[in-house]
Each structure stands twice: as structure tokens, then as C-alpha cells.
């Protein structure tokens, strides 16, 4: 956990399209000594910029950002790797006498970082065998049999997490849910978490507008470039929101309008899952917002640094 002489760590979090990045940039501009840690499992991939809503080049010039563009889309990247890179960034920020603002969208990555999760080992051969099985429902049924507790904490269509849990169960002979305190405990870690909460209908409208803007900004062209790269995208990268649907469109499986509607639908569903993840954490201070103003959130983040 955080030592007494460590700098205060503040998190602004919320579902996709909730305005986290705008709040972070506003706070950084006002306080002057802030650097941003992007806690996003897809923004780690180089070349996946538009579809992940990665901070723009201009934003990155104005404020130092960390944990972006860490690996190529063809590479595998894990929460354990993120934890290591982010901790190194936090240490460097501290050494410079500056403060870190964590911007959280990926719940597991954020929990791994602020609660110092200890992850079980890896068994690449077992993982490869599991990944070769296209039957996600069948894999989930196997997880229910081997580790009902882990299955109860996992969405039945979250293929990546299902495979990871099975990998540990089969490889170690022990239950994935028995590996450390896990994500269902909420220790006093000294981290201040500020959550942005929208009405779901309003958030869905924001998501739809953002998807339209992504397409206008060149999402289809970005996907074409990724598909033409020498190394194919990893399964994780290729299944990312906005990319899977546009890959289908580029491949001729659906029209652009159909792909757009599917991106909006899946993103809204994803936002609901993000909210469920965060709602479990009693340490989060939630701020309800409406309209276009995020002023109350920015104020709460600035006050958290001042406490």
C-alpha cells in the first residue's frame, strides 16, 4: 500500500464517453504540475488512436501522458505488464516533484494498480489451447464447473477473462478465485477516486455522438491501415470496441451504417458493465452530471489534490 511519504494519488473514473479525459486536461491546466496516467487496456496499442479515443497529439504536447502506445496491436498485453509500467511511471512522476492523475476506464487495470494485486502465473501452452477453442459458451461452462466463484464474477461473453481464469485453474490445479484477495476487496489504499455518473440515456447519446465523430475523423481508414500491417492484430486488439465492427465492414460483411449501429450498441453495453464494476467499490465518490458541464467533477478532483 501507499507509504506515508508517497504523493497523493487521485483517480477520475467512469464509463466510456463520460468525459474523463476532458476533466483530466482541465485539472492539469489549472494545477500546472499534473501528469496523466491513462488506465486503458486498448490505448496501450500503437496505431489504435481514433477508436480508443486516445488523447490527441496536442493534448499530449500540453500535458505529459503515460501508459499510451506501449505495444503493437499484434502483441499480447496483460494487466500484470500494465501494473509494472504504470508503477514505474508513478515513481518517475514522483521523482520529478510532480503529481499523477489516473484516468480510469479499465476496471481491472485500475484495481491492479491502486490495490497492488498479485497475479497468478501464466501457462502459455494451456492458454494457446484454450484460445484455439471458438466455443466461448463451452469455455464458460467449463469455468462454472472448475471455479463457480470465478464464473459468478465473470460476464459469460468476456472471452479474455474466461480463458485467463481457465488457464490458471488448469495450469495450477487451483481455483482462479483463490489467487490472492482479488478484485472483490476494497482496502484503504490512500487513493482518492472521483467517479463521473450520467443517466444512462444521456450517456448513450454521448456514445452515439462520439462514434459518429470517430467515423468522421477516419476510423475506417485507421482500421484499413491496421489490417494491412505486416503483423496481424492480436485477438484482443481485433475484438476491441469499434475495431471488430469496422473490420467486418472493411471485409464486406456489413455496411458502414450497420457497423456504426453495432459499435454504438456494443459500447453502450460495455458502459453498463463498466458501471457495474465500479459500483462495487464503496471508496468511490460519485458525482452526478448532466448536460455538457463537468465543472463539478473538475472541482472535486482539484479539491482532492488539495486535501
**pLDDT surpasses 70 at 5:** no
From residue 233, alpha-carbon distances to 130, 224, 238 in Å are 18, 12, 6
All three cell numbers of 78: 496483460
Question: Which is more confident, 257 or 154?
Answer: 257
pLDDT tens-place string over residues 36-87: 999 999 999 999 999 999 999 999 999 999 999 999 999 999 999 999 999 9
pLDDT at residue 12 is higher than 70: yes
Asked if residues 25 and 62 have their Cβ atoms less than 8 Å apart, the reply is: yes
- Decide if 85 contacts 32 (C-beta within 8 A): no
DSSP notation for 42-73: STTBTT--TTTTPPPHHHHHHS-EES-S-B-T
pLDDT category at 307 given cuts 50, 70, 90 is confident
Residue 181 has pLDDT above 60, yes or no: no
> Is 50 exceeded by the pLDDT of residue 4?
no
Percent of the chain with pLDDT over 90: 78
**Chain region(s) in the chain for CATH 1.10.20.140:** 124-179
How far apart CA 50 and CA 211 sit, in angstroms, is 10
Q: How far apart are CA 92 and CA 104, in angstroms?
A: 19
pTM (predicted TM-score)? 0.84
pLDDT band at 96 (very low <50, low <70, confident <90, very high): very high
- In CATH, what class is 10-117+184-306? alpha beta
Q: Which residues contact 255 (CB under 8 A, 6 or more apart)?
A: 249
Which architecture does CATH list for 124-179? Orthogonal Bundle (1.10)
For residue 94, the model assigns a pLDDT of 94
pLDDT score recorded for residue 7: 72
Rounded mean pLDDT of 148-173?
Answer: 90
pLDDT digits (tens, 9 = 90+) for 190-242: 999 999 999 999 999 999 999 999 999 999 999 999 999 999 999 899 999 99
The answer on pLDDT for 124 being more than 70 is yes
Give yes or no for a contact between 233 and 203, defined as CB atoms under 8 angstroms apart.
no
Residues of the chain with CATH 3.40.50.300: 10-117+184-306
What pLDDT sits at residue 113? 94
Q: Count of alpha carbons within 13 Å of 52, Cβ hemisphere only?
A: 26
C-alpha cell at 15: 464509463
Amino acid at each position: 500500500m501507499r507509504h506515508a511519504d508517497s504523493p497523493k494519488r487521485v483517480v477520475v473514473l467512469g464509463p466510456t464517453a463520460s468525459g474523463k479525459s476532458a476533466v483530466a486536461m482541465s485539472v492539469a491546466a489549472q494545477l500546472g504540475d499534473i501528469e496523466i496516467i491513462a488506465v486503458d487496456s486498448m490505448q496501450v496499442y500503437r496505431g489504435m488512436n481514433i477508436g480508443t479515443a486516445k488523447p490527441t497529439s496536442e493534448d499530449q504536447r500540453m500535458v505529459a501522458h503515460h501508459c499510451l502506445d506501449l505495444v503493437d496491436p499484434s502483441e499480447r498485453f496483460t494487466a500484470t505488464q500494465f501494473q509494472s509500467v504504470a508503477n514505474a511511471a508513478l515513481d518517475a512522476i514522483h521523482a520529478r516533484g510532480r503529481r499523477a492523475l489516473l484516468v480510469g476506464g479499465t476496471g481491472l487495470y485500475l484495481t491492479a494498480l491502486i490495490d497492488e494485486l498479485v497475479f497468478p502465473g501464466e501457462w502459455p501452452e494451456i492458454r494457446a489451447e484454450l484460445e484455439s477453442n471458438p466455443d466461448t459458451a463451452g469455455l464458460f461452462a467449463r469455468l462454472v464447473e472448475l471455479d463457480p466463484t470465478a464464473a459468478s464474477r465473470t460476464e459469460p461473453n468476456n472471452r479474455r477473462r474466461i480463458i485467463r481464469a481457465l488457464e490458471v485453474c488448469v495450469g495450477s490445479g487451483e481455483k482462479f478465485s483463490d489467487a490472492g484477495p482479488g478484485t472483490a476487496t476494497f482496502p484503504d489504499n490512500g487513493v482518492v477516486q472521483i467517479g463521473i455518473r450520467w443517466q444512462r440515456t444521456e450517456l448513450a447519446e454521448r456514445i452515439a455522438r462520439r462514434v459518429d465523430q470517430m467515423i468522421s475523423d477516419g476510423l475506417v481508414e485507421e482500421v484499413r491501415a491496421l489490417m494491412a500491417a505486416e503483423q496481424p492484430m492480436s485477438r484482443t486488439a481485433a475484438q476491441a470496441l469499434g475495431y471488430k465492427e469496422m473490420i467486418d465492414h472493411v471485409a464486406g460483411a456489413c455496411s458502414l451504417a450497420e457497423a456504426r449501429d453495432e459499435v454504438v450498441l456494443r459500447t453502450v453495453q460495455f458502459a453498463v458493465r463498466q458501471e457495474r464494476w465500479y459500483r462495487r467499490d464503496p471508496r468511490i465518490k460519485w458525482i452526478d452530471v448532466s448536460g455538457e458541464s463537468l465543472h463539478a467533477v473538475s472541482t472535486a478532483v482539484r479539491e482532492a489534490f488539495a486535501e
